[in-house]
Amino acid sequence: MNGPGVPMGGRGFDGPAYQSRFDALARQGLDVHGEADLVASFRPGTVLDAGCGTGRVAIELARRGIDVVGVDRDESMLAEAGRLGPDLEWLRADLAQLDLGRNFELVVLAGNVPLFTPPADRESMVRACARHVAPDGWMVAGFQLDRNYDLDDYDAACTTEGLVIEERWSTWDRAPFTVGDGYAVSVHRRPSSR
């Protein structure tokens, strides 16, 4: 899921309430497409939006002509995504068990996706998403660093699946990363098999 979700009494998330926060920010003139801007800068033809939430990133990428598939496990978030982007492909699945049988030029985990994954499943989730990265493709993830999930653990799971770190920033608009920053956007790449 993107961002800090809106809990519904332990039953999941409230997709319309979650989306309304981004709609309000957009009405105030704030740019809510920083993640899509960064992803589009890689010029991928195909993107897997893993933990797509209400589809904010996927819908913007599709608007820019990129073939996107959105995956989330929360029904309310996916229902909102389907309402907002009825022509896109939305799939309900647990990212820790994800196997779509295809690769993507870029896999994006925008907005704390690892932190919404139970701690015991985080390594499996990262590895499952990484397996969907095509040769010469990227996995881009942004998440807060003060919530009991370490960059070393994230990097190790990526490395196990053959991805290598290429870039790391502290924001989606590429502000330099330094140790102690509270947020990281990491870019890992799958080297070509050539």
Tell me if 117 is assigned to some domain.
yes
The total number of structural domains that make up the chain: 1
Burial of 118 (0-12, 13-18, 19+ CB in 10 A): exposed
Domain holding 115: CATH number? 3.40.50.150
| 3 pLDDT higher than 60 | no
Tell me if 6 is assigned to some domain.
no
**Parent domain of 107:** 15-189
Average pLDDT over residues 139-143: 96
Average pLDDT over residues 149-172: 95
pLDDT at position 148 is 84
Average pLDDT over residues 158-181: 94
Tell me if 7 is assigned to some domain.
no
Q: pTM, whole model, 2 decimals?
A: 0.84
Tell me if 130 is assigned to some domain.
yes
Measured in whole angstroms, the distance separating CA 90 from the mean position of its chain's CA atoms is 14
Tell me if 1 is assigned to some domain.
no
Torsion angle of the four alpha carbons 14, 68, 38, 28, in this order, in degrees rounded to the nearest 10: -40
| 84 pLDDT higher than 60 | yes
Average pLDDT over residues 128-154: 94
Tell me if 168 is assigned to some domain.
yes
Tell me if 10 is assigned to some domain.
no
- Within 13 Å and on the Cβ side, how many CA atoms surround 30? 8
Tell me if 93 is assigned to some domain.
yes
